[in-house]
Structure 1
């Protein structure tokens, strides 16, 4: 089902390429395990079960983990009104609307598709943003739903889950002793652990790169839908500034959910740390919004 959110061929291309590379990595990984004589079926079944649970229950899991509660139009009329307006503008089904009781100013969207999606904002965000800024943030989040990138990121994480499980199994139990040909060498368990760590690292970097691009794509789509890129830039700047006033303990509690959030609770630094970040640097996001504003001829 098409929407009026600006199509993003760059995002689609990156999602396809990332999924292809992860699939190729998965095939190689399984091939190595089989060559080493490992019966990885149990681990794969466990990981597959986790993937299915995460895929079909992602909205409930995210809401529960972040303390979100679905609210009715009577409970949050202004918030529902903004979502109604944006969904009408985008010609897309309205997701469920939720509020999380947290002073950390943020928002997220999750769900396997447009009809099973939920958009959640924190009470801290509602207190700090005006109506136009909140609309810009909601447009950003709805674009994630429209482009189905939440589902893609869930599936993309599968290989990392498998490799992580294999690493733990190899670390704590091992897969037997030394090579079966009697030639000595590294224990099979150690080889599996090293291969699993490498696979996890590669899959982690690939998914984080896709995550950073999807945030830029959501900024772009949200700004084009509302035609107010400078308002979204203002919301980004305000949220980033307010994060500095939040106690570090609260930010660290929210940090595990950074991949879901509109803005990271704790931003990564420059250099190597930026390679592992879930979001692009604030400066890059503001630069893109400034470029869109110049293209539109207004803010």
Structure 2
């Protein structure tokens, strides 16, 4: 199954989970209908507001060519090479070295980098990172991740509502609910966990594609491989703290999470990504631009 098909299947599973928990919280056919409506509303909200939310979460500030000429010109050059409109450019006021892209499509996109990444990466490695983020925009990954984060957040919110209902004497107010207290308790406990796992799985499938796109766009897979290793080492020293729901947008985990294992990681292991990039290096001719 291709990464694209995996992503579609995982998003469908996430929306299905939202509908299912709506059934438990509200009950019966009304819960199903409201769940479907809620899934539609959250997806629509993500479509139009994803870029604004992500930029606000990381306190990203817009910059002009005059304010950051090197970065601005690099984004412009790579955008022209990729044949997409140049996204808006932002800088995040943090020494944690990271980057992300956001926006519902290439015409409404933004690329953000931290002050930290500008300080530690040489030009060729930064170019690999920017090309990675532009590939996310080309592939519409920015919208996919925003939808996943919003739906996962709605699931967690509904699970919290259901737990309050049980705590204050609810849990059996609708005989059409079709389940029992044990099933409701499992929903409260497992639904947010399942939503998180699905959201992170979506993120991991998109990172490999973005790495490959960067390699093709720059013709220099090794530069991105070096950047990923440098960024991982930096993250252990200076993490980028923000809402965990939006960590999948970043190019690398904001903090080291090896102890959680791959299932709860928003990104594939760096060594696996590096190996894949070095394998691509053997297949791609070196391009001189």
TM-score (norm 1): 0.82
Structure 1 residues 265 and 24, CA, compared in 2 at 3 Å: closer, same or farther? Answer: closer
Structure 1 residues 177 and 286, CA, compared in 2 at 3 Å: closer, same or farther? Answer: closer
RMSD: 3.0
| Matching residue of 2:170 | 176
| Matching residue of 2:130 | 138
Structure 1: 5+ residue stretches without partners: 1-8
Structure 1 residues 252 and 245, CA, compared in 2 at 3 Å: closer, same or farther? Answer: closer
1:292 and 2:271 are equivalent in the alignment: no
Secondary structure of 2:75's counterpart equals helix
Structure 1 residues 238 and 180, CA, compared in 2 at 3 Å: closer, same or farther? Answer: closer
| Matching residue of 2:262 | 274
CA contact 1:47–1:158 (8 Å) conserved in 2: no
CA contact 1:70–1:97 (8 Å) conserved in 2: yes
Aligned equivalents of 1:147, 1:77: Cα separation in 2: 27
1:16 and 2:8 are equivalent in the alignment: yes
CA contact 2:211–2:277 (8 Å) conserved in 1: yes
Aligned equivalents of 1:267, 1:286: Cα separation in 2: 16
Structure richer in helix, relative to its length: 2
Structure 1 residues 107 and 179, CA, compared in 2 at 3 Å: closer, same or farther? Answer: closer
Indicate which of 41, 52, 59 corresponds to 1:60: 52
Structure 1 residues 192 and 160, CA, compared in 2 at 3 Å: closer, same or farther? Answer: farther
Question: Per-residue CA shift, 1:156-182, capped at 9, x if unaligned?
Answer: 34543333122211222347354767x
Structure 2: 5+ residue stretches without partners: none
Paired positions, count:
281
Aligned equivalents of 1:64, 1:180: Cα separation in 2: 40
